[in-house]
Structure 1
Amino acid sequence: MTAPQALLDQDGVRLTVQDAVATVTLNRPAKRNAQSPAMWRALTEAGRLLPGSVRVVVLRGEGKSFSAGLDRQAFTPEGFDGEPSFLDLARGSEADLDAEIAGYQRAFTWWRRNDIVSIAAVQGHAIGAGFQLALACDLRVCADDVQFAMRETSLGLVPDLGGTQPLVGLVGYARALEICATGRFVHAAEAERVGLANLVVPVDELAAAAEDLAAAVLAAPRDAVVETKALLRGAVTRGYDEQRAEERAAQGRRLRDLAGLGE
């Protein structure tokens, strides 16, 4: 096993790679890993910097909370140094505002790429943007102190960082609406019961549980995992016959590869 290699450490985001596993760490523990546009740019850059050898990405938060959501400084008139405040953005054109939000969303989209499996190791608070970042990952391992909440609606906003589709996919429309409209906390037992958490463990076992899950994913051949992930992700939008055709095509590729006939 090689030593971990640091590829990025900026704006509250640290990326390290060890063999086939990358670890992305939110590193603003004093602010409970509250998020900012600078952090979102760093998260986007982390996805761009992933070596092709990486098969699993573990996302974690330093300190007691995974992420307490958006840094409230974004809503102050002064905003962040060198950044337009959200109030200034709202006063601009619709096209500029749309483009800015699209840029923010890029930090939340690459986790679902077919060539990797992403695992969020979530402890403490995962609120708003923190909840959506956990939802961006394929799998979630949670500590027994986890508290998910979607507070955007309570603030007069909507979840806009890619979290609505995976939330509905995991818990269904009615429960997703209730969680978002009320802004209430979803604790560990409920998170596991409704499918938000793949696994719940004691806080002091969270890191080891994420490592064990990563090792289990790595135990299967890479191409088989990539093909399977693509099949499962597409199953939501395909009809039954179309999905069966996709399964046949994927299995044909796998069989040809195992027979040494692949390209």
Structure 2
Amino acid sequence: MTTGNAAPVTDEVGVRYEQDGPVATVTLCRPAVLNAQTPAMWTELGNISRKLPGDVRVVIVRAEGRAFSAGLDLSVARGDGDSSLGRLAQLSAAECADRIAGFQTAFTWLRSPSIVTIAAVQGHAIGAGFQLALNCDMRVIGDDARFSMAEVALGLVPDLGGTKRLTELVGPSRALEICVTGRRITADEADRIGLATAVVPRAELDAAVSDLAAAVLAGDRGAVAEIKALLAGAPQRSYAEQDRAEREAQTRRLADLLGSGE
């Protein structure tokens, strides 16, 4: 696999970027600590989003080792660094919210309409790991996957862009139950309640994700982007508004494909 125009991120930070043509792969690479996440990793994820080459159509988010991500690295969260929970609590409300907004950008760029994002999830995806997978458009998971929104155990709330997607996927009642209990969700349940796009044997995870990426790339780039935007906006629109959005999107596609006729 070759790197693209965006500078590869070093393994020491805990995130690695690689590009193979129109497919970019972002890999969490702290397997010794189950890919527990740090603010430094979030900074680098944000950097990747800003440097992502324009020819990238699919972004795969994956992780090394036996877990996707054990969530927030508690040694950092409970330390005395600038982004520790203690330091955040000392900021004004506005400053704290601004700091969290910066953290969120490491996740929310995965929802961009110009790319299709796929999370390849094995083992545990806890807290920030769960939310990272939720921010992706699709989640292909191994049969050993386990999800948990564990922030409640720390007296915190999920704040990295995962609550809306979770609610859209499983409904408000089930989303509330998942978040307030912090319980584990097996791969079978994730499939049943709509969290998973596909569940495959762990040994077949990489191949299944590659096949899905190839299927996305087989579609017209403009059509894929319009379809993603149509579906993303559908929950906020009435039927009449969605019908109008479809008409407008199709008009743009016809103009792009066949010319405006002017």
RMSD, aligned α-carbons: 1.4
Q: Tell me if the contact between 2:132 and 2:162 (Cα under 8 Å) persists in the aligned partners.
A: yes
- Mapped to 2, the partners of 1:12 and 1:219 lie a distance apart of 32
1:1-263 correspondence to structure 2 within 5 Å = 3-5=1-3, 7-10=7-10, 11-79=13-81, 83-261=82-260
- Which shows bigger deviation, 111-120 or 87-96? 87-96
- Which shows bigger deviation, 41-50 or 3-12? 3-12
- Mapped to 2, the partners of 1:191 and 1:77 lie a distance apart of 34
Deviation, 1:158, is 0.4
Alpha carbons of structure 1 residues 9 and 77: separation in structure 2 relative to 1, 3 Å: closer
- Mapped to 2, the partners of 1:117 and 1:251 lie a distance apart of 20
Alpha carbons of structure 1 residues 196 and 88: separation in structure 2 relative to 1, 3 Å: same
Superposed CA offset, 1:135-189 (max 9, x none): 0100000000000000101221100111100000000011111111111100000
- Mapped to 1, the partners of 2:137 and 2:86 lie a distance apart of 33
- Mapped to 2, the partners of 1:29 and 1:109 lie a distance apart of 24
- Mapped to 1, the partners of 2:3 and 2:90 lie a distance apart of 43
Gaps of 5+ in 2: none
Gaps of 5+ in 1: none
Q: Tell me if the contact between 1:253 and 1:262 (Cα under 8 Å) persists in the aligned partners.
A: no
- Mapped to 2, the partners of 1:192 and 1:240 lie a distance apart of 28
Output the amino acid matched with 1:261. Answer: S
- Mapped to 2, the partners of 1:127 and 1:54 lie a distance apart of 28
Q: Tell me if the contact between 2:80 and 2:86 (Cα under 8 Å) persists in the aligned partners.
A: no
- Mapped to 2, the partners of 1:174 and 1:204 lie a distance apart of 34
- Mapped to 1, the partners of 2:208 and 2:196 lie a distance apart of 13
Superposed CA offset, 1:62-96 (max 9, x none): 111000000001332434xxx34220220221111
TM-score between the two structures when normalised by the length of structure 2: 0.95
Output the amino acid matched with 2:9. Answer: D
Superposed CA offset, 1:100-143 (max 9, x none): 11110010110010000000000001000000000010000000
Q: Tell me if the contact between 2:111 and 2:135 (Cα under 8 Å) persists in the aligned partners.
A: yes
- Mapped to 2, the partners of 1:76 and 1:251 lie a distance apart of 51
Aligned residues: 258
Moved over 4 A (4+): none
Secondary structure of 1:109's counterpart equals: helix
Q: Tell me if the contact between 1:112 and 1:136 (Cα under 8 Å) persists in the aligned partners.
A: yes
Q: Tell me if the contact between 2:59 and 2:115 (Cα under 8 Å) persists in the aligned partners.
A: yes
Q: Tell me if the contact between 1:32 and 1:66 (Cα under 8 Å) persists in the aligned partners.
A: yes
Alpha carbons of structure 1 residues 262 and 152: separation in structure 2 relative to 1, 3 Å: farther
- Mapped to 1, the partners of 2:88 and 2:120 lie a distance apart of 33
- Mapped to 2, the partners of 1:193 and 1:167 lie a distance apart of 14
- Mapped to 2, the partners of 1:84 and 1:199 lie a distance apart of 35
- Mapped to 2, the partners of 1:62 and 1:228 lie a distance apart of 31
Output the amino acid matched with 1:256. Answer: A
Alpha carbons of structure 1 residues 254 and 157: separation in structure 2 relative to 1, 3 Å: same
- Which shows bigger deviation, 251-260 or 138-147? 251-260
